Amino acid sequence: MKKRIVVLASGRGSNFQAVVNALKSGKISGSCVSLITDNPNAYAIERAREAKIPVIVIDYTSFSTREDYEQALLSAMHRVNADLFILAGYMRILGNSVVSAFPGRIVNIHPALLPSFTGLHAQRQAVQNGVKISGCTVHFVDDSLDGGPIILQHCVVVKENDDEDSLAERILKYEHKCLPEAIRLFCEDRLEIIGKRVRIH
């Protein structure tokens, strides 16, 4: 039985596209049943339409409180009935009410080697701190900020003349490989969470 996948994205959706491509090529045994976005102007919406994937827009700015927004998001997530939710450039921190509703079923891609440089502007943090190696991490989402169990990581060398943008661009290429690979492993039931660790079978 193919796993039902839903992607949450806020912007251009290049990681979403990488997932769509991997599904299309048969690399992942699953189907993307919806894109959920908090931004009615996200380019990811165009990508979804092109791939004939239904879009749910829950415009963050139309809610008076974060709680109201999360309630609407939670309701939409229950409705789509997905096996796996993927945060692919989704720019909101999920509240505990959402995370606790789908334990072990939400994954995120982050442009740093966690646990270093959590939160926003991870690439800028890497450059400012003078690290020699950065990269990307795919992890399960729990109630901590970018602190859930790590599934996959890929290293990227930080060059002397790198700035935030040049480093981000090189890391992104590996995000497009790591995220589909982590989803493939999930869809093949090969991931097991043991405490803070993920065992790949």
Catalogue the active-site residues: 110
- Please provide the DSSP assignment of 79-100 as one string: HHT-SEEEESS--SPPPHHHHT
Is residue 58 a contact partner of residue 38, using CB atoms and an 8 Å limit?
yes
For 78, phi then psi, to 5°, come to -65, -40
In degrees to the nearest 10, what's the CA dihedral of 165, 174, 102, 184? 160
Sign of CA dihedral 26, 1, 54, 68: negative
What the block records as the tokens of 24 is: 């299309």
Partner residues linked to 37 by β-bridges: 9, 57
